[in-house]
């Protein structure tokens, strides 16, 4: 597999220009880097940059602030970042430094992060609106309030301080919802790597395998292709597949168990998100296959709604109708179809929605509803389609043969001009395809 694609510098420049055009010449936009997080005592979690800062600059380091000042004569794109420091770099690796930020990231100007207290109040002066993510980083909120108060204190001398404070997401989330060609290259790459990882898990499956052994296979493939887990890998064997956000991954898969694997790679910040459910011994039981086929039919019904001009919610409604009808046929629900749908009786077995936006965040930004109505799908949107069924092992209201079966099938879908593209198409999906793939491994 070729090396991972990158977002060209011109794309970041274009994004910043578009955002500033929407914000207007009397605005200022402030985006701090994600803070580093302590894992335990003096060790940190692996650092991952704030998605918005990644989107607008591609700058990967902590202790940085991107400031966009539309219409500023002396330069609109400013970055505060750590200075070069040979002693610290010997411990933590190279830093870009302010000089490097101009050359490598196309900034008009860059300053040491330690100088932000002196410089930022002057940038706020004369601006009427501040765009910022309030409430995301309390420490930075307090700093920003302090800088604003310093400008306000100068008002008697004629200093004009901002009087409007707007959520940055109102502008930026809508931009990020529509994926560019460069972004889609990375998302296809993340999808392809994730497909390989799921196949590796199926290859390693056998009665007696530990969930963490399958997790290790998956994440080995991610790292082998210069990726990382986009979220905590879920490997649930048997009844653990009924736990939606199962994270223990320490149980042993028994002969006859299904294994639900929800795992996706992140490549250069962009996520994939795939779920497959397969029999650890390579063969579905009658009941397992019946529920797996039903989930597959629900996914097909939802996929049929994935095209421009159709309401986002239509996919979920199609999946719910298919699942409810199937549950009635199997005897897991009783009564009339219409009443079961109206009463939401499927939620006993299917408590979540059928998907979410996907991009720099696994649960990516973007409104699902506009003016109270489900928004219409448009080309360039990417989302997951992930129906499932989960029969609790303790549900004595259903026959014992169904209990403890958890199934989800999830793929990543791009809305195109004339329909959709399944980015994760290459991975075995139906029960027949899964059995055929696993059967090939044992021949």
Residues 129, 136, 203, 352: which is the catalytic one?
A: 352
Residues 61, 257, 325, 386: which is the catalytic one?
A: 386
Instruction: Please say if 352 is a catalytic residue.
Output: yes
Residues 44, 220, 363, 369: which is the catalytic one?
A: 363
Residues 131, 176, 390, 412: which is the catalytic one?
A: 390
Q: What burial class does residue 287 get, using C-beta atoms within 10 Å of its C-beta: 0-12 exposed, 13-18 middle, 19+ buried? A: middle
Residues 262, 325, 361, 412: which is the catalytic one?
A: 262
Residues 125, 410, 411, 412: which is the catalytic one?
A: 410
Instruction: Please say if 408 is a catalytic residue.
Output: yes
Residues 41, 42, 181, 418: which is the catalytic one?
A: 42
Ramachandran region, residue 393 (left: φ > 0; alpha: ψ -120 to 50; beta: rest): alpha
Instruction: Please say if 363 is a catalytic residue.
Output: yes
CB 63 within 8 A of CB 85: no
Residues 189, 198, 276, 408: which is the catalytic one?
A: 408
Residues 136, 356, 375, 403: which is the catalytic one?
A: 356
Instruction: Please say if 390 is a catalytic residue.
Output: yes
Instruction: Please say if 42 is a catalytic residue.
Output: yes
Q: Single out the residue of 252, 245, 19, 17 nearest to residue 132, CA to CA.
A: 19
Residues 74, 245, 394, 417: which is the catalytic one?
A: 245
Q: Which residues, including other chains, have CB under 8 Å from residue 36's CB and lie 6 or more apart?
A: 44, 45, 47, 62, 63
Burial 124-149 (b: 16+ CB within 10 A, else e): bbebeebbbbeeebeebeebbeebbe
Residues 76, 199, 273, 411: which is the catalytic one?
A: 273
Question: Among all residues, which ones are annotated catalytic?
Answer: 42, 245, 262, 273, 352, 356, 363, 386, 390, 408, 410
């Amino acid at each position: 597999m070729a090396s991972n694609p990158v977002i060209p510098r011109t794309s970041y420049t274009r994004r910043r220009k578009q955002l500033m055009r929407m914000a207007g010449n009397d605005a200022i936009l402030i985006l701090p880097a994600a803070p580093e997080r302590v894992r335990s005592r003096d060790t940190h979690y692996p650092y991952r940059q704030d998605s918005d800062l990644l989107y607008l600059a591609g700058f990967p380091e902590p202790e940085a602030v991107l400031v966009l000042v539309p219409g500023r004569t002396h330069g609109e794109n400013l970055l505060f970042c750590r200075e070069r420091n040979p002693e610290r770099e010997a411990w933590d690796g190279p830093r870009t430094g302010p000089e490097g930020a101009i050359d490598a990231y196309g900034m008009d100007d860059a300053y040491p992060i330690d100088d932000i207290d002196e410089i930022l109040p002057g940038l706020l002066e004369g601006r009427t609106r501040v765009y910022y993510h309030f409430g995301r980083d309390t420490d930075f909120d307090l700093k920003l309030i302090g800088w604003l108060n310093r400008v306000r204190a100068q008002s008697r001398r004629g200093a004009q301080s901002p009087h409007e404070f707007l959520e940055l997401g109102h502008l930026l989330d809508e931009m990020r919802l529509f994926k560019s060609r460069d972004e889609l290259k990375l998302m296809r790459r993340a999808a392809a790597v994730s497909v390989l990882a799921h196949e590796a898990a199926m290859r390693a499956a056998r009665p007696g395998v530990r969930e963490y052994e399958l997790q290790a296979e998956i994440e080995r493939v991610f790292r082998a292709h210069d990726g990382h887990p986009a979220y905590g890998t879920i490997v649930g064997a048997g009844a653990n597949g009924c736990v939606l956000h199962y994270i223990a991954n320490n149980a042993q898969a028994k002969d006859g168990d299904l294994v639900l694997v929800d795992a996706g790679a992140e490549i250069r910040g962009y996520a994939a998100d795939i779920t497959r459910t397969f029999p650890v011994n390579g063969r579905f039981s009658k009941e397992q296959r019946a529920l797996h086929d039903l989930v597959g039919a629900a996914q097909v019904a939802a996929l049929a709604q994935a095209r421009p001009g159709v309401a986002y919610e239509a996919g979920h409604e199609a999946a719910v109708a298919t699942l409810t009808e199937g549950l009635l046929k199997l005897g897991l629900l009783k009564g009339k179809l219409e009443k079961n749908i109206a009463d939401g009786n499927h939620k006993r077995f299917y408590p979540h929605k059928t998907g979410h936006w996907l991009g720099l965040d696994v649960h990516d930004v973007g409104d699902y509803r506009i003016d109270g109505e489900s928004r219409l799908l448009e080309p360039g949107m990417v989302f997951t389609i992930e129906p499932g069924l989960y029969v609790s092992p303790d549900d004595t209201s259903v026959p014992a043969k169904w209990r403890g079966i958890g199934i989800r099938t999830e793929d990543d879908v791009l809305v195109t001009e004339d329909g959709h593209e399944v980015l994760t198409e290459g991975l075995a999906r139906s029960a027949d395809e899964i059995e055929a793939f696993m059967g090939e491994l044992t021949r």
